[in-house]
Amino acid sequence: MKICLVEDDQIMGESLCDRFSLEGMAFDWCQTATSALNRIGTEPYGVVISDIRLPDLSGEELFSRVVARDAYVPPFVFITGYGAVDRAVHMLKLGAADYITKPFDIEQLIEKIRLLTRFPLQSPQSGGAAPKLGVSPAMRRIEEMLPRIATHASSILVTGESGVGKERVAQLLHAHSDPGNANPFVPVNCAALSESLLEAELFGYEKGAFTGAARTKRGVFEQAEGGTLFLDEIGEMPPTMQVKLLRVLQERQIVRVGGERTIAVDFRLVCATNRDLQELVKAGSFREDLFYRVNLIHLRVPALRERREDILWLARIFLAEHAAAYPANAKRLSVAAEAALVAHDWPGNVREMQHCLGRACILSEQPMLERADLFEDRAQETTVAANVDTMLLNDYLQRCERHYILEVLDQQGWQMNRTAIALGISRKNLWEKMRRLGIASEQTQNS
């Protein structure tokens, strides 16, 4: 089974083909409707992905000719702009399978392809290795994807609210691609620099290029040679710099500010943003062609309130790090403090929780951190306390039980027999508890 991609836009076509290759999907890329028409019917296509606007025939005419000519018509998914949605809807009435509007998330298209075909999911298993991003199913899925992404993808987009740990994901991705730590990981915050400073930071400059340029400086494109360049807050990049970044990604060459010589560069690009790039594209503040360049692989890191299983896991890591740095001031959490952490919504996500625990460790004189040590604002503490009081007897015990079972499952490599023995319960009882507590993953489903 193969995919037939009909797309004349070079950047979008290359991005889609790169992603199909990463997913292990066979495909043919046709840049005209005529070439696609000659292939469809002779190749075992499971789906046709076609732009509506093509240089010779429209996607609509391509579909109509295939329907009139062939006994079997593979599912058609049309790519269209907002101005042509009515044509795509008309195609659905004539028998097309689906459509997707520009700018689209490639993840959405991959999901549609899997729903329409029998392409299997390819998800490397982490086995019994200790989790590095979290114990929640969402973070485990991201962690399982990283080894394959690190091997194949040259451009990755990481999205999520401020403080969720996007840079941590990028660092772990880099570690998978460079186990020996021989190549650099270079982070840059695009929102922290003005346009002129950002250009000098990215491209570097020659001596005398501007006032204050007393020496030649290599930019981060060069500094990241052979390694990973992490561009944080890519959505804040000025339009003129977006054009220059796109050119670097296409040509893999740069020219320093004030220089004339082209310099070849080789790096993996990881971009991060807490903004919706698709909305920025629609608003005209982010280039659509750059969006498809950086969005080859999209990893969304959920907010901490969406993965509460990770709260106590992260809290224990932070307290262990504090105890290692200050052995005489080691801290642990009371039951009420743990309940308060789980009940809080953490609008600042992981960063806020780390600061909260760090402050409590410094200010508290007791080895046991209580609920009052965590939250300075009395009104906030009262709200949290109210939430905790209604949760202590039932919800809190269930959350603790769920967290403990997840920890033991991790320790036992998600082997059901070994986990049941370690917990001192039967395998059937373990399954019942997991079903009641909403614990499920590919590991358990395949056991």
Q: Say which DSSP state 3 is in.
A: E
Question: Where in 151-260 does DSSP place strands (E)?
Answer: 155-159, 185-189, 204-205, 217-218, 228-232, 253-255
Tell me: the pLDDT tens digits for 135-175? 888 898 899 889 988 888 889 999 999 999 999 999 999 99
Tell me: the pLDDT tens digits for 332-349? 888 788 888 988 999 999
* Mean predicted confidence (pLDDT) in 298-318: 91
Check whether residue 356 and residue 283 sit in a common domain: no
Residue 278 belongs to a domain: yes
Check whether residue 103 and residue 160 sit in a common domain: no
Q: Label residue 235 by pLDDT band (50, 70, 90).
A: very high
134, 307 contact by CB (below 8 A)? yes
Which residue among 87, 116, 145 closes a domain? 116
Task: Indicate left, alpha or beta for 165 from its phi (over 0: left) and psi (-120 to 50: alpha).
Answer: left
Is the per-residue pLDDT at 373 higher than 50? yes
Check whether residue 364 and residue 426 sit in a common domain: no
Considering only residues 211 and 185, tell me which one the structure prediction assigns the higher pLDDT.
185
Which residue among 70, 91, 116 closes a domain? 116
Q: What is the CATH number of the domain that holds 99?
A: 3.40.50.2300
pLDDT for res 71: 78
Check whether residue 242 and residue 368 sit in a common domain: no
Check whether residue 68 and residue 179 sit in a common domain: no
Check whether residue 61 and residue 47 sit in a common domain: yes
Check whether residue 263 and residue 205 sit in a common domain: yes
Tell me: the pLDDT tens digits for 51-106? 998 999 999 899 999 988 887 788 999 988 766 678 878 888 778 888 888 888 88
302, 170 contact by CB (below 8 A)? no
Question: Where in 54-128 does DSSP place strands (E)?
Answer: 76-80, 98-101
Residue 140 belongs to a domain: no
Is the per-residue pLDDT at 127 higher than 60? no
Q: Which residues make Cβ contacts (< 8 Å) with residue 271, sequence separation at least 6?
A: 155, 156, 157, 158, 230, 231, 234, 294
* Residue whose tokens read 């392409």: 119
pLDDT for res 97: 84
pLDDT for res 121: 45
pLDDT for res 425: 80
Residue 126 belongs to a domain: no
Residue 135 belongs to a domain: no
* Mean predicted confidence (pLDDT) in 360-384: 75
Check whether residue 243 and residue 355 sit in a common domain: no
Is the per-residue pLDDT at 232 higher than 90? yes
pLDDT for res 405: 83
* Mean predicted confidence (pLDDT) in 294-319: 91
Check whether residue 295 and residue 325 sit in a common domain: no
Q: What is the CATH number of the domain that holds 441?
A: 1.10.10
Tell me: the pLDDT tens digits for 378-421? 444 444 444 444 444 556 567 777 777 887 787 777 888 788 77
Calpha distance 205→195 (Å, rounded): 14
Is the per-residue pLDDT at 428 higher than 80? no
Q: Say which DSSP state 308 is in.
A: T
Residue 130 belongs to a domain: no
Check whether residue 24 and residue 104 sit in a common domain: yes
The total number of structural domains in the chain stands at 4
* Residue whose tokens read 């220059």: 244
Q: What is the CATH number of the domain that holds 319?
A: 1.10.8.60
* Residue whose tokens read 């730590």: 181
Calpha distance 349→224 (Å, rounded): 29
Residue 146 belongs to a domain: no
Considering only residues 11 and 158, tell me which one the structure prediction assigns the higher pLDDT.
158
Check whether residue 235 and residue 288 sit in a common domain: yes
Residue 199 belongs to a domain: yes
What residues form DSSP beta bridges with 369?
A: 333
pTM of the model: 0.68
53, 334 contact by CB (below 8 A)? no
Round the average pLDDT of the chain to a whole number and report it.
Answer: 85
Domain interval for residue 435: 397-446
pLDDT for res 397: 64
Q: How many angstroms separate the Cα of 329 from the Cα of each of 326, 334, 357, 373, 413?
A: 5, 16, 13, 15, 34
Percent of the chain with pLDDT over 90: 42
Which residue among 302, 332, 359 closes a domain? 302
pLDDT for res 394: 57
Q: Say which DSSP state 439 is in.
A: -
Identity of the residue numbered 96: A
* Residue whose tokens read 């298993």: 125
pLDDT for res 381: 43
Check whether residue 224 and residue 335 sit in a common domain: no
